[in-house]
Structure 1
């Protein structure tokens, strides 16, 4: 595991927890990285390792997850975008690079639009382009259709950490070589409580609110207004390692990607998770982040960051 430090920054309602992987050199560029809907900051561990200290990477536990689970609502994509901007402000300096995976990609797109003074064009990882919600589904039916298995996990209990590890190792997306010490650390950060009734630390209310919010017009339209040129790295395979990924050329065309300033790049032989946590996917994400970091900029100013 690449060493990191835990920081906290002031946001509406309290403090946002984040992990910071420092650069080797003072004054190096900074990137903020946002995780998925039931994930946490350590999902960026492999990317941090492959960045190898060339930039400072800061990944928050989004409101309602991980060490930020104690932050109150309101939740929603806009709230996360504003939290990301507060984090960037606290880190000091000029505009920073921005990346997001899955739901975090939608947050990144909206943050880039709402806070252009804080962020440059985002790196979107298997997310950011959405589709209008089916009008015949209720909010509960909609969120169940999208992330039903993930929602089920939030209500489960596990006798100990080994049981939670076994649960994840049986997941189709993490079979074989997809498992690593970084993946193990990432999933263990999610676990809270005491034996024999440990559970995910993600708040169900936050996940439900954010999931429904992904179909709101402000969120869906954000990627069409991001400053460019931005990048989308999309996984060839899906959430359960199925052949059909979230995106393909026809789905991106239907979502209007060809008319945006977002360049779409397929990442072969990865799924929705390993595009971020696997060696190949994380390497391409790291390269895209290095290409996205602002050149120069005054980073001498320091914000209200606490250890």
Structure 2
């Protein structure tokens, strides 16, 4: 497949690096996970029909937008998505999706500016998470994100050493493919001998704390989505095993009711491979069909 075009598009206070996959007239906008980048949608974009263009921004503090200034936070990212949808949609509603933290960001954007979007696909994210009162939020993030967060403070001697770190990840290594490798290599920066992730840890922590304390915001947005909405979720979690990111009781609580989003379990996937594995074809199919 052709690699994406890299665009720098205006948002409040700077620009965002946006990856454009495809050249079709129909516009989709995709928001990535908390330590990810727009390259996580490479496999999904390849599965979309030719009439689509998918625009996947690197959110503030990640990828080519690592130097775009904060403050960070889900509302700030959601407002960035709304600005991109306004500029890219050319007066027409845009199809919107998000994975993991990006699902929460997309949900927030659709709730704030529903007229900009014609559908909302949540991929293994978007449901309110419960945190015990008084919990140390940074400790919760350390436990939940595990290797994804640990890599942000490390340097690697070579690009291949960085790739090998990901190959050892239990949710990625057994399913390694060209899309995963492209996603990993896109994230590398730094001088020779001290290669590292482009992701800024302060952005991850600010966004993560807000995600853990915004259950009410997400609950209100899920109660009656303003656009057709669907949740796709994985049976396995961030380490490729149970529990999943979204346990079944949580899914049952927030989906399937009157006015709420529908939900579908994508069997044989984990939190990452639901988007970076062969299931990308299913995700693309559901995305295209959602508003028809």
Shared fold per TM-score greater than 0.5: yes
- Deviation track 1:43-78 (CA, whole Å, cap 9, x = no partner) reads 000011111423111100011100001111110000
Identify the residue that residue 51 of structure 2 maps to in structure 1.
54
Deviations 1:229-263 (A, max 9, x none): 31100012111110332224322234x32435211
Distance in 1, matches of 2:290 and 2:57, equals 19
Question: 1:94-243 counterparts in 2 under 5 A?
Answer: 94-176=92-174, 178-215=175-212, 216=214, 217-243=216-242
Assess if the C-alpha contact under 8 Å between 1:13 and 1:72 holds in 2. Answer: yes
Partner of 1:246: 245
Distance in 2 (alpha carbons) for counterparts of 1:246 and 1:139: 17
Distance in 1 separating the partners of 2:8 and 2:150: 30
**Root-mean-square deviation over aligned CA pairs:** 1.6
Q: Is the 8 A contact 1:109 1:222 kept in 2?
A: yes
The answer to whether the 8 Å contact 1:78/1:107 transfers is yes
Aligned twin of 2:63: 66
Q: CA deviation at 1:218?
A: 1.9
For 1:300, the equivalent position in structure 2 comes to: none
How far did residue 119 of structure 1 move? 1.4
The alpha-carbon deviation at position 135 of structure 1 amounts to 0.7
SS in 2 for 1:16: strand
Distance 2:242 2:145 in 1: 18
Residues 110, 223 of structure 1: 8 Å contact kept: no
Distance in 2 (alpha carbons) for counterparts of 1:204 and 1:221: 29
Q: Which runs of 5+ in 2 are unaligned?
A: none
Alignment CA distance shift 1:221-1:144 (3 Å): farther
Taking structure 1 as the reference length, the TM-score comes to 0.89
Q: 1:17-38 CA distances to partner (integer Å, 9 max, x unpaired)?
A: 10111334xxx32110110000
Kindly state the Cα deviation for residue 3 of structure 1 after the two structures are TM-superposed.
3.2
8 Å contact from structure 1 (residues 120, 292) kept in 2? no
Give, in whole Å, the separation in 2 of the partners of 1:243 and 1:207: 24
Deviation at 1:94, TM superposition (A): 1.1
TM-score, length of structure 2 as denominator length:
0.93
Q: Where has structure 1 moved over 6 Å in runs of 4 or more?
A: none
Give the superposition deviation at 1:285. 1.2
**Contact 2:99–2:125 (Cα < 8 Å) also in 1:** yes
Larger RCO: Structure 1 or Structure 2 (Cα < 8 Å, ≥ 6 residues apart)? 1
**Could you tell me how far apart the structure 1 residues matched to 2:91 and 2:53 are?**
13
Q: What does residue range 80-95 of structure 1 map to in structure 2 within 5 Å?
A: 80-91=77-88, 92-95=90-93
Does the Cα contact within 8 Å between 1:122 and 1:230 map onto a contact in 2? yes
In structure 2, C-alpha distance between the alignment counterparts of 1:145 and 1:241, rounded to whole Å: 15
Q: Does residue 11 in structure 1 map to residue 4 in structure 2?
A: no
CA distance in 1, matches of 2:117, 2:227: 11
Q: Report the CA distance shift for 1:112/1:145 in structure 2 as closer, same or farther (over 3 A).
A: same
How far 1:226 sits from its partner (Å)?
2.0
Is contact 2:232–2:265 with CA below 8 Å preserved after alignment?
yes
